[in-house]
Amino acid sequence: MGRFKSILGYTSAVLAFLVIPATFIGLNYFSSKLVSVTGIKVSPRFTGGEVIKTVDHNTYKTLIHRPVFDGLIGERQNGFIQINWERQNNWPQIIEEKIDYNRDNLEDFFISIETKTGKATLTAYNPSVVGIGQTYVLKSGCAARILLKKQ
What mean pLDDT value characterizes the chain? 92
Neighbour-count burial of 3, counting CB atoms closer than 10 A to its CB (0-12 exposed, 13-18 middle, 19+ buried): exposed
Strand pairing report for 141-149 and 75-87 = antiparallel
Nearest alpha carbon to residue 68 among 97, 40, 38, 43: 43
**Which residue(s) pair with 65 in the sheet?**
51
Write down the pTM of the prediction.
Answer: 0.75
pLDDT tens profile 61-110: 999 999 999 988 889 999 999 999 999 988 999 999 999 998 899 999 99
Give me Rg for the CA atoms of the chain.
24
